Amino acid sequence: MYILGLNAYHADSSAAIFKDGVMIAATEEERFRRIKHWAGFPSMAIEFCLREAGITLEQVDHIAIGRDPYAKLGKKLLFLAKNPGGGWRAVMDRFNNAKKVSSLEEEFAAMAPGIDVTALKKKIHQVEHHRSHLASAFFASPFEEAALLSIDGSGDFSTTMIGTGKGNKITVTGSVDFPHSVGLFYTAFTQLLGFPHYGDEYKVMGLAPYGKPEYADKLRDVLIFGSDGLFTLNSKYFRSAKSGIVSYGEDHIPVVAPLYADYMIEKFGPVRKKEEPLTQYHKDMAASVQRITEELIFHILTHLHKTTGLENICIAGGVAQNSVANGKLTRNTPFKNVYIPSAGHDAGISMGAALYVYNQLLDKPRAAPVWTAYTGSRYTNEEIETYLKSRNITYTRYSDQELYEKVADRLIDAGVIGWFNGRAEFGPRALGGRSILADPRRQDAKDLLNSKIKRRESFRPFAPSILKEYVEEYFEVSDVVPFMEKVFPIRQEKRSLIPAVTHADGTGRLQSVDSTVSPRYYQLIETFRQKTGVPILLNTSFNENEPIVNSPEQALECFLRTSMDMLVLENCVITR
């Protein structure tokens, strides 16, 4: 049985394909379009998934889209009744998208002329946004039973959903409705701090360790914790919910409207302009926003544990990308085990919708847990060589062991390496498939990367990829972290050894590298360890203000327009 899952007409559009419950391929449309957070119909991602599965669209048994425009329709209409006039604008985009979602067969017909549209329409299932998130976390997890949390900005008129999972079934036990949203809370303050673009929230998370949460108590008037374990927003601080939040133009790029009201500016200061420096106030404000967000997540989970008595928790949604909060969960809530998928954000909706149909609706048994994010594009050495020759690029092809030695030596010699290996990752993190690597022991590694390639804010950290057997030796918390989804404190005595991946507060957003999941990346780090004694590499995404590279051509172009020292395309190496 083949199931095609989609996140369409929504930011981070994507596609995933499953055969008998096992994911064959999954990828974001932005990787092909080269436009961050692309939000249209993911036709190129669909074509990729079908090629990887070796089937045609006609051979797909079910199509699952992670969007149900008719979910909570009564509440949407009630919202309109309470917000006449401008209230229509807030939900108009949703109704427009409803039309698009309900006519998916027209999009597919354009992709496959002559297809039986009537038969195709019968295959389409609409799965509510947050149920898709819950499914992406629980059905991919190793847990037979778990508590569940989906938490983000907004989707299908919900912003948070809680429940439980057991076997192949999910039960929803509660939700929070738009406009009450911790995602929108975080975004509003992200904008206030001078980061206006869709997806900029991670900058606030990176800035927070440079400040102190001096204003956390003031924020309790903005984000109000409920006795039921959930929350509400104080609407005085936010622009009227009568207006839309995220809009999509003809270019399919998501744009977030300013969310803050004059009252927020009155209480927390003016919006920082792009050219204005980050003051200590801004850093303290970032620390305060991060602190109160963490406390809310702990509040929700503590209550969820109280009502379920379960030890396992599965989390997805945009707020689940807050790796700092994720790393504190087992120390600040009663839950003992945490699973967050590699694409916990909206791209993971495609994966979750497909799993929801397979497990929940069709009552099929769950497949093995998902511990790998390597479900994207891949190229053989022969394909790469053919391309390099067509460009008249000088390269050397090495055996595996020669390759590890050459790359490790160049890293030790202050090299910055573009590493293009195996399948691309599904999700926002580079995990050794499409990575830029450097020596974590170098004090100047951040400066090297920012001057040679990234050209990004100096306060943003770089992440450590560590052989999983050494996590406990270097970090105060020992856990399996395959998707770089958690931040842990680095042991005090190790911080001076790896300054390039130690953030201002002594933490690191680690990726624990497993030899069975990432054998080549593991062996590269092991070779570096044998030469240096340090089982860690600095790892950041292979891109330069663009989506992560997806093909040898994109990797080469990034190499040529930056000052990277070495480009590794499988076993083919280009040096400067």
Which residues, 6+ apart, have CB-to-CB distance to 81 below 8 Å? none
Q: What is the mean pLDDT of residues 369-391?
A: 98
The enclosing H or E element of 162 equals strand 158-166
Q: What is the mean pLDDT of residues 363-368?
A: 98
Q: Token match 């096992």: residue?
A: 22
Q: Which amino acid is at 267?
A: K
Provide the token pair at 146. Answer: 């778990």
DSSP for 225-244, written as a single string: E-TTS-EEE-GGGB--TTS-
pLDDT of residue 102: 55
pLDDT at 99 over 80: no
Side-chain-facing half-sphere of 549: CA atoms under 13 Å: 28
pLDDT at 78 over 60: yes
pLDDT at 100 over 80: no
pLDDT at 232 over 60: yes
Q: Token match 């689940």: residue?
A: 320
For the CA atoms of the chain, what is the radius of gyration? 23
Q: What is the mean pLDDT of residues 411-437?
A: 97
Q: What is the mean pLDDT of residues 314-320?
A: 97
Show the DSSP H helices in 176-236 as ranges.
182-192, 201-207, 216-219
What CA–CA distance (Å, rounded) separates 103 from 99? 6
Angle between helices 73-82 and 87-102 (to 10 degrees): 150
What CA–CA distance (Å, rounded) separates 556 from 567? 8
pLDDT of residue 408: 98
pLDDT digits (tens, 9 = 90+) for 102-146: 578 889 999 999 999 999 999 999 999 999 999 999 999 999 999
* Closest of 205, 199, 202, 198 to residue 285, by C-alpha: 205
Q: What is the mean pLDDT of residues 336-349?
A: 98
What CA–CA distance (Å, rounded) separates 24 from 357? 16
pLDDT at 502 over 60: yes
Domain limits, the chain: 2-131+351-361, 381-575
Q: What is the mean pLDDT of residues 90-113?
A: 70
Let me know how long the chain is.
576
Q: What is the mean pLDDT of residues 296-308?
A: 98
Architecture of domain 381-575: Alpha-Beta Complex (3.90)
Q: What is the mean pLDDT of residues 214-232?
A: 98
What CA–CA distance (Å, rounded) separates 344 from 349? 8
pTM of the model: 0.95
- Comparing 65-69, 364-368, 383-387, the range with the smallest average pLDDT is 65-69
Task: Point out which residues pair with 6 in neighbouring strands.
Answer: 15, 65
- Comparing 239-253, 377-391, 487-501, the range with the smallest average pLDDT is 239-253
Q: Token match 């397979």: residue?
A: 358
Q: What is the mean pLDDT of residues 68-85?
A: 74
pLDDT of residue 94: 52
Q: Which pLDDT band holds residue 98 (cuts at 50, 70, 90)?
A: low
Phi-psi region for residue 528, left (φ > 0), alpha (ψ -120 to 50) or beta? alpha
pLDDT digits (tens, 9 = 90+) for 428-459: 999 999 999 999 999 999 888 988 887 788 89
* Closest of 290, 21, 335 to residue 164, by C-alpha: 335
Fold topology of 2-131+351-361 = Nucleotidyltransferase; domain 5 (3.30.420)
Q: What is the mean pLDDT of residues 544-565?
A: 96
Percentage of the chain modeled with pLDDT above 70: 96
pLDDT of residue 240: 83
The mean pLDDT value of the chain amounts to 94
What CA–CA distance (Å, rounded) separates 441 from 474? 13
Q: Which pLDDT band holds residue 85 (cuts at 50, 70, 90)?
A: low
Q: Which amino acid is at 573?
A: V
Q: What is the mean pLDDT of residues 325-346?
A: 98
**2-131+351-361 and 381-575 in the same fold:** no
pLDDT digits (tens, 9 = 90+) for 158-189: 999 999 999 999 999 999 999 999 999 999 99
Helices and strands per DSSP (H, E), number in the chain = 21, 23
